[in-house]
Each structure stands twice: as C-alpha cells, then as structure tokens.
Structure 1
Amino acid sequence: MGTNHAFIKTVLSIAVPVALQCMLQSSFSIIDQIMIGQLGSVSIAAVGLAGKFSSIYQVVVSAIAVVAGIMIAQYMGKGEQAQVDRSLSVNLAAAILLALGFTAACLGVPGHIMSIYTEDAAMCAVAASYLRLIAFTFLPMAGAILLSTMLRCMERASLPLYASIVAAIVNTGLNYVLIFGKLGFAPMGVDGAAIATVMAQLANFLLILGAFLMSYRKTGGSFHFSLSLGAEGYRQYIWMLLPILVTEFMWSLGENVYASIYGHMGTIACAAMTLTNPIQGLMIGALSGLSQAAGILIGKSLGKRDYDEAYGNAKKLVWYGLRGAILLSALLIAAKSFYVDIYAVEDVTKKIASDILLAFALVAPIKVLNMILGGGIVRSGGKTKLIMWIDLMGTWIFGVPLGYLSAFVLNLPIPYVYFILSLEEAVRLLVTVIVFKKKIWMQSL
C-alpha cells in the first residue's frame, strides 16, 4: 500500500504541473480565439490555418524533447550525471537548428506556405501576415521545451508551470491592448495577436532558463554543455531520434492535410473547426501529464533494469488515463453548447462547432490511450521505430484516405468527416496494445 501511495504521489508531482501547464496554454488559446473571434470568421479561420503550419514545428521540436526525456530519464536512473548533461546539450543543439530552419521558411515564403491550405485570397493574406510574425517564437520555444523536459526529469515540473502562468498573463494583457488598440496603441487585429504571442514566448523562455540555472545551483552542481556523446552514443541517439522525427513530422503533416481538407470545405467549416481546437487542446492537455509522467517514471525503471516495476506501473498509468478521459468526455458533451456560445460568429458556425465537439468527445478516450501508451510508455524503452510504423500506418493508410473519401467523394458535413478520419486512432491503439503486451519495448540504454 505504501509503495503504491508513493508511486501515485510521484506521478502526481509530474503529471499535475504538466497537465496544468498544457491546460493553461490551451485556455490561453481560448482567450486568443475569443478576442480574434470578434474580428469575424475570416480572421479566426486564418489564424487557425497559420497555427496548423506552426504546429509542424511544435510537434517536431517536441519530438526532440521526447528523445531528450528518454535519454535523461534513463541516465538519471543509472546515476550518470555527465551523460545527463550531454543528452540535454545534444538535443538542445538539434532543437535550435530546427528552429532556425523553420524561422527562415516562415519569414521568406509565408504566402506560398499558406496558399497550400486555402484558395481564399483574403484568408491567405491574413494567415501569411500572422505566420511571418509568429516565426519569432520558434527559437525561444525550442529553449523552453527542452529545458522544461530537463526540469520534469529532475521532478521539478512545477517550475515550468509557474513560467507559463506569467506568460499567460503577458499574452492575455498584450492581446487586449494590441488587437483592439488600447492604452494609446492603434488597433492591430491579427498582427497584434501574433506580437503578443512572441512576447509571451520570450518571457516564458527567460523564466524557464532562470528556473533551470537555479535548480542546478540547488543540487550543488553546474550544467556542463557538451556534445561529446562518442560514436556509439551518437549512433544510438540518431536511431532513437530519426524514427520519432519521422513519426511526429508525418503525423503533423497528416494533421495539416486534415486542415487542408477542412479549409477546402469552406470558410464556415474551417472557422468551426478552429473554434474547437482550444477545447480539444484543453481536454488532451488535462491528461497529457500522464504521458509525460509515464515516459519519465517508466524510463527510470528501465534504466535500473527493473522490468517488472516498469510493466506494472505502466498498466496503472493506462487505467488512470482511461478513467480520466471518459470523465472529461462526459463533461465536454454536457458543456459544449455553452462553449460555442461565447464566440461572436454566425449561428451556423456555432452549430457545426458543437457537432464537431461531440465527435471529439467520442474519440477522445482512444486519443488519450494512444498518447500514454505510444507517446509515453512504449517510447520510454528507446525503441521508437515501433511507434513510427504504427503512427504512419494509422495516419496515412487510414486517416488521410478516409478524410478525402468522406469530404470529397461522399460530400459529408465536416463533423462526420472529422469523426470518420479520427477512426484511425482506434487502429493505432489496437496495434500498440499488442506491442505493449508482448513487452518487446522494454530495454535499458
């Protein structure tokens, strides 16, 4: 009983701050969208499409953070501090290079990028302007995500949460001032929202950097930046990183194909889907902490070669996630009408958004299980190639074809399109459960 209590306490110490941070960021998006929503459907749809492209970067840099988490957790389990520092250093360098590449693309050809998503000239112009500005969030975001991963592995997950709270306040205040033109500023509309996001991300990074340096001082040590993993270390690193990069990039590309499908179904349909994004993020974020906790705690057990403990704790985390997801789905079904009514958009947009939220509530438990099992537990052993093949199969063999079939062949309304293409989550879950039960994912680096 005492051991189980200690496990739950450790899970909560990681999962709750991460969940609150993700929920805060999603509620942050809700505030953004309420404010931008006052500008009309074109503006909110444009911001949603630009956000889809920037999400490719977020997903890929988060993939680097996943590898960092696997390496750091396992080396912490082994008690090898020098390897912990090297793991953070190498992944931080990779994230910075990625950020520079995406920044260059968004500054150089934003109009060409957004023309992939929509043929609406007005929407494309607004989206390109927004994308050009939020490109400046990529570098601080890279630093914040990697340093947050390190702090969570050190079981100091509350520190990135505090930084996010401050960033949320900065973003909300600047949104109000810059979008609508308060305190002597001229109204900047969508561009004002982008500038507010840049300033908030910069504040978030600086606070997390300070927390990181402070945490190292409290341990009596100091961080040593080093890229010296050695030939064998880099070989192992690359074989872990490449499958995750491929997985997350192709998954994100698939999500962008979905966004393109919605965008070509019309401005109203695209705006309705955009309205649902923050609440989807809020609900997934509420349980994302379990995925992070799974990766860290199971990784440490694998690092110690305690495989029985790793498997037993993994099963507990899966059940925690399933119960939480079912509860949140029920709450969403009850509250979806109240949520869409806060937006100043057409009634038809509200109705479509409400129907999409119902579809999301039905598939959310499956999404959460995939996140915990595939994104946290199975990856913690370093066999990232398994998840790569499972995710590629789900997205590209099932999800994308089902999306095109339902939208452009069957000509179904967008809520049905969303639900049908989301059935690929069930396929991925089935295969992942088989892999989990066979225990072929359990290994020590």
Structure 2
Amino acid sequence: MTKRKEFLKEALAIAIPVALQAMLQSSFSMIDQLMVGQLGKTAIAAVEVGGKPQFVFAFVSGAIATVTGIMVSQYMGKNDQKKINTSMSVNLLVMLALALFTMVLCLSLPSELAGIFTKDSSVVLSAKPYLQILAWVYPLSGISTLLAVQLRCRNRAKYPLYISAVAALVNTFMNYVLIFGHFGIAPMGIKGAAVASLLSQVVNLLLMIYFYRRTCRFAFDLHMKKAEVVQYIVMLTPIVVNELLWTIGQNVNTYIYGHMGTSELAGMSLTGPIQGLFIGALSGLSQAAGILIGRRLGEHDYDRAYQDSKRLCLYGFVASLILSVILVLSQGFYINLYNVGDDVSRVGTQLLITFAILAPVKVQNMILGGGIIRSGGRTKYIMIIDILGTWCIGVPLGLFTGLVLKLPIVWVYFILSQEELFRFIVSVFMFRSRKWMNTIQ
C-alpha cells in the first residue's frame, strides 16, 4: 500500500502541473473561439480553418518532444548528463527545421491551405491573414515545448505551469484589446486573435528560457556515435510519421465537415476547445507515464514498469468517466456562451455529448499509446496501430458516411471515431505482450 501511495504521489507531482499547463494552452484556442464567437459563424469557421496548420504542427512537434522525453528520462535513469545534452541539442535542431518549414508554408500559401477545408470564399478570405500571422508562432512554441520537456523530467513541472498561466493571461488580455478594439486600438477581428497568440508565445518563450537556465545544466553537443544516430532515427521516424499521418487524417475529417456546410464546420469548431480542455486535463497522466515508465526501463526494472503502467491506466479511466459526466451536465451552459444560431448550437450540443461518450477510450489510447508503449523507444508499434486506425477505419468511414451517405454530422463523427476502439483493442494486446519494454543504449 505504501508503494502505491508513493507512486501515486510521484505520478501526480508530474501529472497535475502538466495537465494544468495543457489546459491553459487549450484555453488559448477556447479564448480565441469564445471572443471570435461573438463575430458570427463565418469568423468561427475561419479560425477553425486557419488553425489547422497549427494543429498539425502541435502534434508533429509533440512527437519530437515525446522522443526527447524518452531519451532524457532514460538517460536520467542512467545518470548520463552528456547524452542528455546531446538529446536536447539534436532535437532542438530537428524542431527548428520543422517550425521554419511550417512557417514558410503558411506565409506563402495561406489561401491555398484554407481552401482545402471549405468552399466558402468568405471563410477563406477571413482565414488568410490569421494563417499568416500565426506562422510566426511556430518557432517560438517549438523551442518552448522542448525546454518544458527537460524541466518536467527533472521534476520541475511546476515551472512550465506557471509560465503557461502568465502566457494565458497575456493572451486573454490582448484578445480583449485587439479583437474588439480597446484603449485606443482599432478593432482587428480575427487578426487580433492571431496577434494576441503571437505576443503570448513571445512571453512564454522568454520565461521558459529564464527558468530553464536557472534549473537545467546544458551544453550544446551534437556528437553522436553511428549506432546512436541509427537508434535516434529508428525512434523518431515512426513517431513523426505517425503524428503527421494522424493529423492529416484529422484534417481530412475537417475537410468532410467543411464540405457538409459552414454550420456543420462551425458546430464542430465549437467543440474543439472543450475537447482540448478535457484531453488536456488528463494529458498529464500520459506525460507521467512516459517519464516514470521510461525511468523504470532505464533502471531495467521491468516488473515495476508493468505494474505502474496498469495503475496509470486505471487512474485515467476513472478520471475520464468523471469528466465525461461533468461535460454532459454542463454542455448547455458552454454552448450558450457563443453568439451563434440555433442550427450551430444544436450541432455543437450533439457533438459534445458524443465526445463525452467516446472520451474514456480516447484517454486510454493517450496513456497507453502516447505514454506507456512509447516509453521503451519502440515507437513503430504505435505508428502501425495509429495508421491502421486512421487510414483503414476512420478516414474511409468518414468519407463514406459524410460525403456519400450524407448522414447528420453527429453520426459521421461517432462512426469515424470507432477508429479509437480499434486502437484501444490492439494496444491492450501489445501492452500485455510486454514487447514494448526496452532500454535504449
């Protein structure tokens, strides 16, 4: 019983700050949506479309951060500072390359990117400047993400939390000033939301650098042996390919919703922030799984790693059930915060209830696939599971039910989300096999 209490305390010490930070980051999009939501459904749809490249970047950069966390946590278990420095250095370069590529793409092809997801020319026109301003966010958020990883691995998860709280306040205040026009500044509409996000990320990065330098030892070191380079590529490639293909699949879903109508797209976009808050509230358990189980594997304590993994899955299941009930009871209040018509409100309400039903399975996949199984460095297993789920189940079902059968959007969303059930079943078999357990060199 004492060991269980100690493990729970250790897990919560990582999970709670990470969860609160993720919720604060999700609040960026919620604040944008709530304030932009007062401008009507075209503005809501434009922010949804304009945020899609950021959605892709967040998950692919998150993949790089996951690999960084695997490497740093295992090398911490071995007390190898030199390899920690090398891990951070190499991943920083990879992150910057990804961020600059995404930035150039958004600056040069904003209308083309927005036009992928909707036929409504007014939505595309509104989304264009939003995309171009947000382009400058990617290098800032990419570097901040990696710095936060090492702070968490060193049990300093509270610092990224505090920083995110400050950034969220900056974002909220600047949204109020710039979107609607206050203190002598002309109203900027959704452009103001993008500028506010950029300013908040500047503050976020500056504070992250300050606390990182106070807490972590770091020396830039790109020297890796040939075997280590191969090991790194074997870990990084599957997870980046996995996240990229998964996010492309999610963007195909947005394409489906957008071609079903602007009201459907706006209704779905209303659910995005609350889904982000829900998943963010439990993302800390996934992060805790990656760090704690990674340490156990680095120490070659495989039995303890397996038992601790089961405990984390149980914690996530119970917490997700509680949050689902809360979401069902409060969905009416949330939807009424937006200045939208009855058609959009109805769609948003139905989708939130559907998400609440699906959420416990989504959370288990996040903890199992996103944290536990990946902690051993054998990321190809999750890549295969996710690609099969997204491209053999989710995307085909979405295209067929949405564009061929033309079912109501709530049924399209529910049916294509059965990919989550597939992932869960396969992940459980993989977990029980223990083949994912591995100590990196």
Q: What TM-score comes out, normalization by structure 1 length? A: 0.98
Is structure 2 residue 259 aligned with structure 1 residue 264? yes
Q: Secondary structure at the match of 1:179?
A: helix
Aligned to 1:230: 225
Cα RMSD of the aligned pairs, angstroms, is: 0.8
What is the distance in 1 between the residues matched to 2:298 and 2:348?
Answer: 45
Aligned to 2:41: 41
Q: Secondary structure at the match of 1:264?
A: helix
What is the distance in 2 between the residues matched to 1:113 and 1:340?
Answer: 28
Give every structure 1 segment of 4 or more consecutive aligned residues whose post-TM-superposition deviation is greater than 3 Å. Answer: none
Is structure 2 residue 297 aligned with structure 1 residue 305? no
Is structure 2 residue 369 aligned with structure 1 residue 398? no
State the Cα deviation string for residues 411-443 of structure 1 (Å, max 9, x = none).
Answer: 111111111111110001100000000000001
Aligned to 2:338: 343
Stretches of structure 2 that go unaligned for 5 or more consecutive residues are none
What is the distance in 1 between the residues matched to 2:12 and 2:163?
Answer: 19
Aligned to 1:10: 10
The Cα shift of 1:25 comes to: 1.9
| AA at the equivalent of 1:142 | G
| AA at the equivalent of 2:50 | A
What is the distance in 1 between the residues matched to 2:375 and 2:162?
Answer: 26
Aligned to 1:248: 243
Please give the residue correspondences for 1:43-58 in structure 2 after superposition, counting only pairs within 5 Å: 43-58=43-58
Is structure 2 residue 367 aligned with structure 1 residue 372? yes
| AA at the equivalent of 2:380 | K
Among 310, 318, 325, the residue aligned to 1:323: 318
Stretches of structure 1 that go unaligned for 5 or more consecutive residues are 217-221
Among 413, 417, 421, the residue aligned to 2:412: 417
Aligned length: 440
The Cα shift of 1:405 comes to: 1.2
| AA at the equivalent of 1:288 | S
What is the distance in 2 between the residues matched to 1:55 and 1:294?
Answer: 23
Aligned to 2:268: 273
What is the distance in 2 between the residues matched to 1:214 and 1:68?
Answer: 20
Residue range with higher mean Cα deviation, 2-11 or 414-423: 2-11
Aligned to 1:122: 122
| AA at the equivalent of 1:97 | A
State the Cα deviation string for residues 397-419 of structure 1 (Å, max 9, x = none).
Answer: 00000101111222111111111
Identity of aligned residues (%): 50
The Cα shift of 1:258 comes to: 0.5
CA contact (8 A) 1:178 1:186 kept: yes
What is the distance in 2 between the residues matched to 1:67 and 1:25?
Answer: 21
The Cα shift of 1:10 comes to: 0.8
Aligned to 2:432: 437
The Cα shift of 1:75 comes to: 0.5
What is the distance in 2 between the residues matched to 1:34 and 1:243?
Answer: 36
CA contact (8 A) 2:52 2:251 kept: yes
What is the distance in 1 between the residues matched to 2:208 and 2:392?
Answer: 40
What is the distance in 2 between the residues matched to 1:103 and 1:352?
Answer: 33
What is the distance in 1 between the residues matched to 2:56 and 2:67?
Answer: 17
Is structure 2 residue 143 aligned with structure 1 residue 143? yes
The Cα shift of 1:27 comes to: 2.6
| AA at the equivalent of 2:143 | G
The Cα shift of 1:2 comes to: 2.2
Among 374, 378, 392, the residue aligned to 1:383: 378
Aligned to 2:133: 133
CA contact (8 A) 1:53 1:256 kept: no
What is the distance in 1 between the residues matched to 2:183 and 2:363?
Answer: 43
Q: What TM-score comes out, normalization by structure 2 length? A: 0.99
CA contact (8 A) 1:69 1:150 kept: yes
